[in-house]
Structure 1
Amino acid sequence: MLTRTARAVLIAAFMAWPIPTSARLFGGAGREEIAIPTSVLPLDGFTQVHDPLQARVVLLDDGKARAAIAVIDQTSIFEDLVASLQATIGQATGTAPQDVLVIASHTFSAPHAFAPDHLPPGVAMSPEDQKRAITYQAALLDAAGRAASEASASLVPVEPVFSGGASRVNANRNHPSARGWWLGANEAGFVDSSVGVLTLETDSHRPIATLVNYAVQSSVMDHSVGGDGGKGVTADLAGATAHRIEALRPGSVSLFLTGAAGDQMPAYTARRYVYDAGGDYRMIDIGDRGYPLVDLQGERLGDAVIAALPAPLPASGSREDAIRVLHGAVTLGAQERPKDLQQIKPSRAYRFVTAGEVRAPFVIVTIGDTAIVGVQAELSAATGAAIRASSPFRHTMVVTMVNGAAKYMPDEAAYRDITYEAMDSSFAPGSAERFAADIERQLAVLHAAKRK
């Protein structure tokens, strides 16, 4: 928690920060590597760095309001670190901390940034690991702060343009087995192949930022063991996609906004379940040979983004794209999760146990006729598609892993099938449908207010 003095400093910095007075939208972007010194490893089972993790920040300003979007290459980001990142990025950009969206890219191949004094239940650290964890957290905050400073220093008038495409580098991860639904690439399951793209360009069509919204977990190398017997740090599919776009749009920064991917995995992974004709499965792991799968799928998804970009249009010069930020939460039914993930196995008769209530926060950022819906929970792809379809905004992105993590919020079909996500959820059946309905109402209110 911030002290009273720290809050006063942040408020003073925010009030003193110069804000453009033009009615036009301004945008800036920055990208910085998260430096992981060799002294930090091994950490959380990771023994080497295959490719560096990144912190990327986009700053938006309409002359009256500011909002920042930060994507950090992490599996998930816990609330204490979210608050620190919001404060750091807010101070560097003159943005109110609550209007900083901190998003995990959801790479499964990055050490968890545990704070020694805020460890999750059941997690213990040796004194040496505590030192490594503190160093790692400091590296994350440093990279985010530098990227935010770059975004602030590079503010220029921009034209926001939304476009859409499609790519099939994802697959449904719920696979039927002989004992019930389990994990694996299921070609027959529902897949959301849509790619949402929001670009920021100057009047001369110089690219500033490319925001990509796609429903897939960046888990190509999830728990894959390398030749040295440990796991390798990698930004995985999200990072490979961003790097591909940045290579094809020199000077720009690409942010990967993970969509409703609770049941969406990469089509090809290094460590995976293989099923036989009878529905029995076994695990195989190709180890370091899996890294080309990251590059190939990232290249394919990145190329789909580039193909979706619209032809350059004449700059309007008078366009008004007001920014609005709405924070809210929905109270939903809760259920008990297994104390040990090893307890989760394929089942045809699982008993879901309800347990009180849980709050599910959300944040909605609108830029003109584009809405970005950010949630902590990992929604199923069908839920994300339903929110987009019902949104009154011309363009809508549904982004998960925003300002914290809340595990899975599956749709009702997942509970009927007894999928992994349903068993590993803190939300009771029906929560996703109620959550989506509330977000749809909020979008309708925002859109009606925009038209007045």
Structure 2
Amino acid sequence: MKKLIAILLAAVMAFALAACSGSGQATTAAPDTTAAPDTAATEEETTTEEETAATTFEGSLWVGAGNGEIVFSEGVFPVEGFSGEIHQNPYVRALFIEDVQQVMIVSLELVNTPEDVINEIKDYASEKTGVPRDNVWVHSNHNITTPHAPEDETQRSLFVDNVMTAAIEAIDEAAESFKPAAMGVIQGECDANINKDIELNDGWYIGSNPDRYSDKTMTVIRFDDAEGNPIGIYYNYGMKPTTIDNTGMKDNIRKISSDCTGLACTMLEEEFGCPVMFVMPATGDQQAKETTTYYEWDAAANEAKKIELSVEEGIALSDKYGEMIAESASALANSVECNMNEVPVNVSATDFTFANASGDGEVKVDVSAITIGDIAMVGLKSELNAITGHQLAEASPFKYTLVTGFLNGDQKYMPDDEAYEIQSWEFKRTGFARGCAEEFVNVATALLTKMQKSAATPGFKAGAGNGEIVFSEGVFPVEGFSGEVHQNPYVRTLLLEDTQKAAIVSLELVNTPDDIIQAIKDYVEEVSGTPRDNVWVHSNHNITTPHAPEDETQRALFVENVMAAATESIDEAVASFQPAKLGVATGECDANINKDIELNDGWYIGSNPDRFSDKTMTVIRIDGEDGKPIAIYYNYGMKPTTIDNTGMKDNIRKISSDCTGLACTMLEEEFGCPAMFVMPATGDQQAAETTTYYEWDAAANEAKKIELSVDEGIALSDKYGKMMAETAIELVNAAEATIDSAPILTSFTTFNFANAAGDGEVAIDVSTMSIGDEIAFVGLKSELNAITGSQLAEASPFKYTLVTGFLNGDQKYMPDDEAYEIQSWEFKRTGFARGCAEEFVNVSLGLLNDLKAGVEHKADKAAGERNANKNYEVLDIAGMKWLVLDDRDGKQLVITADVIEKMAFKAAGGDTTWEDSDLRAYLNGVLYDTMFSDDEKARIEETAITTPANAKYGIAGGNDTVDKLFVLSAEEAAQYLEGSDYLLANDATGAPAWWHLRTMGEAKDVQACVTVTGEIDLHGPNGGVTNLEGGIRPAMWIRKY
């Protein structure tokens, strides 16, 4: 969200100062434009004429653009036939766009960009602007008249320095020019390109073929500021910069040039006074109509002959076609109307694996997409042929679909099906098996369709639904439940949208198994388009429902019953989705009490009016287009435990939704719409009376558990359910639903904290969601104590901060500091060390403060969340599961499915390599000797191990070794596990764990690792040195039986 645009220029000018003087990491989330009117009044006296003009240009789109000239040092040359002579220096250009989400496109006029440079650019762009690293696209336009990164170390270092200098200049300029913008898009034709596949007598070569397909479409996107001046121009046209090509290489007289597309950019920049970016689309079989290099049939020699014109002739052709491209682009840029200033940006990515060309393995193909309003940009590392780009555009649900080749890397050609049939030039140079391009179109189209469904627009909308969970007879008996019902539990769903979509699904269950959580997320995404990460699945910890049974038949019925109610609820929410308004009201309800009581020998469960309880009830009322409620959400610090486990020992428990469920039902009867209860910070809270509590038995000199009857429990449930409903009804009637604009922002992070036993760590997921300027939800898998929820609300920048416990899982109690001091009931049942609740507050406040400033933090997955998106054969060796990574020559490479234990790479710390690490000695000594049987040892092969240098930092991997057991290198982890969720690993407690790689890290005293979120980290663990204890996942080659 953005601040008043009346203070735009002051905010932009202050950006650089804030970046230097703030907390260290600059963010350029666009300022908030929804501040209250009195804020604007305080700025009136200092508002300049220029700022006043800006106030008339309101919208949510912000754009910045920059360029930087790549000036190669003399020391880079000679290389690849380049002597150092220059025709026209290449550029790096950056385009920074925000509307809901932030993205940056960095385009380099290079033949390709090395991975270390790509990563440096991503790191710098993210640090400078706050754009999430995954939202930074680094594109090479495959300009042949620039060198690859030299192999010589000194030359390479200069090359990287020169490129990064230009990239930093471009990114800085884009950040500094970042301002409110309007955009327009236009298409036209340019007749500069041609298909380059020609058939000669003995096969297919490079030439000019007007009879084969070329896409003549040029797409221009223009971004203007408030005064109508261009900020940046982007153009996409099916011709790669190869007019000059490699000519002059054999004589070492090649000249550095940006070729025809670069000349066009320069000409357009001179005309419009702003950076202009060319992006290479599907150009595998496309080139300029004339180039310096082509083939002809030599009848005398009876062979194809390569024709190569001079460098000067190539430059003349570059000028000719550069001017032609610039002329078309100029006409389009001058014709387009820049009238779109609310065009939500969405970013997504996926990947697939496909057989390689040689048929002996697979290749991972990354598919990335950015959507900006009705424009879709689809990126990949390869070059598609033009027909594939056309097929994708035809299949896409977006009006404009633009391919970006050589994105974040270089995987050469990905030819279309016909290219394999005729064995074209691209076919001879591909690394992919036939059909890969067609699969790319399928995957990309599915991704774009999913993104279109999830596309959200400004303006608040909502829908709600409920579904009754009716358990089948076959679920029972289970946990003392005979099957008798007091009141069936429900699933309730709330769908929300304003600039992005979100959903809350609340189940009146004691907890929700992970497979049901994942199925609900999948279904919500499928039918509503809500991004999976924005689907919150909450259990309200209703004790009078069973856990999922262990018996397979009972469990299947349980899952079926819950999912039937969930899908009914979700479907109803989708069907009722409409423009809406919301209002908030708070009041007090005296139904709850602190449940921690001190008896003679310690702390137990009871009713303690002297300890803290938060009596606040918060109600959110959502009205539909007719002004009547379509949804009610209420949050109150009392979990549904009035009936509790009473009747368990006699197997006479009754299914019930308890007091909170009764209150929901009464609200639904009163207002005619779904009413959802969400359990907040209730670890030490309950109804003022419950069926189960403790008293001191003086005669027995011990604490005695008191348990009332089931019917008494139901009476208490009715009493406190009605009490809650009465308060909630008053608040719903008091809430004025007048807010029709409440942009939704979401953030997620994970932190690790010591476990209660002190022998490991637990990963804690923290989810946040803000709705407008006043409401924030904070979710976690645990139950906080009430005082922690109150502390978080007090410190939060939002007026209403509502905790959601048991979100997307169940991690039991997370007590506050005092609970550890007194050793309360929650302390005795926690899995976390002291201080975890306080750290949760700190982490949550970091996310909330950023949300208030309009900055989101996203993650692909929660730590430890594993999806079965890639299959491995699983073996049982030494009593544990091992994944088969490779299978050849009668041998298999295997790795443990999870972390088996933890230790330091080198206990003493300091410089090391795999060869002299303690980890290597332990694996091939104690672990080998004690873990495996004699028969298993007989299968384990001695393996020659080479550890490559760190690909990013260059730290050497040390001498080769011969080992029976080893850990993977970074390259092996990427080769075998990247693209699967088995990069994620859990420790023996089930908590996510980072694990060792044998590749060294950023220095000789740090080793690379895989993080708790499943990312290969070449830097090494945060603050890491080799004496940090990390997870061990042994690998080995074994003989097959």
**TM-score between both structures, scaled by the size of structure 2:** 0.38
Equivalent pair of 1:225/1:288 in contact (CA under 8 Å): no
Instruction: Tell which has more relative contact order, 1 or 2 (C-alpha 8 A, sep 6+).
Output: 1
Which of the residues 746, 757, 760 maps onto 1:325? 746
The answer to whether residue 686 in structure 2 is matched with residue 265 in structure 1 is yes
Q: Which amino acid aligns with 1:297?
A: Y
Which of the residues 460, 464, 468 maps onto 1:25? 460
Offset of residue 143 of structure 1? 1.2
Equivalent pair of 1:19/1:61 in contact (CA under 8 Å): no
Counterpart CA distance in 2 for 1:360 and 1:10 is 32
Counterpart CA distance in 2 for 1:89 and 1:237 is 28
Counterpart CA distance in 2 for 1:143 and 1:447 is 35
Counterpart CA distance in 1 for 2:771 and 2:466 is 22
Q: How does 1:273-352 map to 2 (within 5 A)?
A: 273-275=694-696, 280-309=703-732, 311=734, 313=736, 315=738, 319-336=740-757
The answer to whether residue 566 in structure 2 is matched with residue 144 in structure 1 is yes
Counterpart CA distance in 1 for 2:640 and 2:688 is 11
The answer to whether residue 534 in structure 2 is matched with residue 99 in structure 1 is yes
Aligned to 1:343: none
Give the secondary-structure state (helix, strand or coil) at the position aligned to 1:165.
Answer: strand
| Range with bigger deviation, 297-306 or 273-282 | 273-282
The answer to whether residue 770 in structure 2 is matched with residue 366 in structure 1 is yes
Which of the residues 375, 378, 381 maps onto 2:783? 378
Counterpart CA distance in 1 for 2:751 and 2:637 is 23
Counterpart CA distance in 2 for 1:254 and 1:439 is 27
Give the secondary-structure state (helix, strand or coil) at the position aligned to 1:239.
Answer: helix
Counterpart CA distance in 2 for 1:314 and 1:363 is 26
The answer to whether residue 653 in structure 2 is matched with residue 231 in structure 1 is yes
The answer to whether residue 543 in structure 2 is matched with residue 108 in structure 1 is yes
Q: Deviations over 1:165-206 (max 9, x none)?
A: 111211111101010111111121111111111111125421
Aligned to 1:89: 524
Q: How does 1:12-161 map to 2 (within 5 A)?
A: 14-15=450-451, 17=453, 21=457, 23-47=458-482, 48-62=484-498, 64-114=499-549, 125=550, 129-161=551-583
Q: Deviations over 1:98-137 (max 9, x none)?
A: 21100002100111125xxxxxxxxxx4xxx320111111
Counterpart CA distance in 2 for 1:312 and 1:409 is 33
Q: Which amino acid aligns with 1:293?
A: L
Offset of residue 314 of structure 1? 7.9
Aligned to 1:351: none
Offset of residue 11 of structure 1? 5.2
Give the secondary-structure state (helix, strand or coil) at the position aligned to 1:218.
Answer: coil
Cα distance change of structure 1 residues 145 and 438 upon mapping to structure 2, 3 Å threshold: same
Offset of residue 19 of structure 1? 5.5
Aligned to 1:339: none
Cα distance change of structure 1 residues 85 and 386 upon mapping to structure 2, 3 Å threshold: same
Offset of residue 164 of structure 1? 0.5
Q: Deviations over 1:48-70 (max 9, x none)?
A: 222111110010112x3111100
Q: How does 1:210-221 map to 2 (within 5 A)?
A: 210-221=632-643
Counterpart CA distance in 2 for 1:9 and 1:37 is 41
> Structure 1 regions of 5+ residues with no counterpart?
115-124, 337-353
Cα distance change of structure 1 residues 258 and 359 upon mapping to structure 2, 3 Å threshold: same
**TM-score between both structures, scaled by the size of structure 1:** 0.85
Offset of residue 445 of structure 1? 1.3
Aligned to 1:345: none
> Structure 2 regions of 5+ residues with no counterpart?
1-350, 354-442, 857-1041
The answer to whether residue 760 in structure 2 is matched with residue 356 in structure 1 is yes
The answer to whether residue 865 in structure 2 is matched with residue 440 in structure 1 is no
Counterpart CA distance in 2 for 1:172 and 1:17 is 45
Counterpart CA distance in 1 for 2:538 and 2:754 is 25
Give the secondary-structure state (helix, strand or coil) at the position aligned to 2:807.
Answer: coil
The answer to whether residue 805 in structure 2 is matched with residue 400 in structure 1 is yes
Counterpart CA distance in 2 for 1:176 and 1:314 is 44
Aligned to 1:390: 795
| Range with bigger deviation, 289-298 or 202-211 | 202-211
Equivalent pair of 2:694/2:703 in contact (CA under 8 Å): no
Give the secondary-structure state (helix, strand or coil) at the position aligned to 1:261.
Answer: coil
Aligned to 1:186: 608
Give the secondary-structure state (helix, strand or coil) at the position aligned to 2:831.
Answer: coil
Cα distance change of structure 1 residues 365 and 181 upon mapping to structure 2, 3 Å threshold: same
Offset of residue 216 of structure 1? 1.3
Q: Deviations over 1:232-251 (max 9, x none)?
A: 1111122112112112212x
Counterpart CA distance in 2 for 1:418 and 1:152 is 47
Cα distance change of structure 1 residues 86 and 283 upon mapping to structure 2, 3 Å threshold: same
Equivalent pair of 1:365/1:371 in contact (CA under 8 Å): yes
Q: Which amino acid aligns with 1:143?
A: A
Equivalent pair of 1:207/1:249 in contact (CA under 8 Å): yes
Cα distance change of structure 1 residues 324 and 430 upon mapping to structure 2, 3 Å threshold: same
- Between the aligned residues of both structures, percent identity stands at 28
Counterpart CA distance in 2 for 1:426 and 1:312 is 40
Which of the residues 808, 814, 822 maps onto 1:417? 822
Give the secondary-structure state (helix, strand or coil) at the position aligned to 1:70.
Answer: strand
Cα distance change of structure 1 residues 256 and 276 upon mapping to structure 2, 3 Å threshold: same
Aligned to 1:117: none
Cα distance change of structure 1 residues 335 and 282 upon mapping to structure 2, 3 Å threshold: closer
Give the secondary-structure state (helix, strand or coil) at the position aligned to 1:74.
Answer: coil
Counterpart CA distance in 2 for 1:249 and 1:324 is 29
Offset of residue 78 of structure 1? 3.0
Offset of residue 272 of structure 1? 2.7
Offset of residue 355 of structure 1? 2.3
Counterpart CA distance in 1 for 2:462 and 2:663 is 22
Q: Deviations over 1:328-352 (max 9, x none)?
A: 112212113xxxxxxxxxxxxxxxx
Counterpart CA distance in 1 for 2:648 and 2:832 is 35
Counterpart CA distance in 2 for 1:368 and 1:441 is 18
Cα distance change of structure 1 residues 4 and 225 upon mapping to structure 2, 3 Å threshold: farther
Counterpart CA distance in 2 for 1:46 and 1:12 is 47
Equivalent pair of 2:578/2:625 in contact (CA under 8 Å): no
Offset of residue 280 of structure 1? 4.5
Aligned to 1:340: none
Equivalent pair of 1:271/1:287 in contact (CA under 8 Å): no
Q: Deviations over 1:318-375 (max 9, x none)?
A: x421111111112212113xxxxxxxxxxxxxxxxx2221111011111102101111
Q: Deviations over 1:78-109 (max 9, x none)?
A: 33322122112222222122211000021001
Cα distance change of structure 1 residues 361 and 428 upon mapping to structure 2, 3 Å threshold: same
Give the greater-gyration-radius structure (CA). 2
Cα distance change of structure 1 residues 444 and 312 upon mapping to structure 2, 3 Å threshold: closer
Cα distance change of structure 1 residues 248 and 109 upon mapping to structure 2, 3 Å threshold: same
Which of the residues 163, 174, 180 maps onto 2:585? 163
Q: Which amino acid aligns with 1:358?
A: V
Aligned to 1:254: 675
Q: Which amino acid aligns with 2:760?
A: G
Q: Deviations over 1:257-293 (max 9, x none)?
A: 1010000011111233244689844423222232121
Cα distance change of structure 1 residues 398 and 312 upon mapping to structure 2, 3 Å threshold: closer
Give the secondary-structure state (helix, strand or coil) at the position aligned to 1:55.
Answer: strand
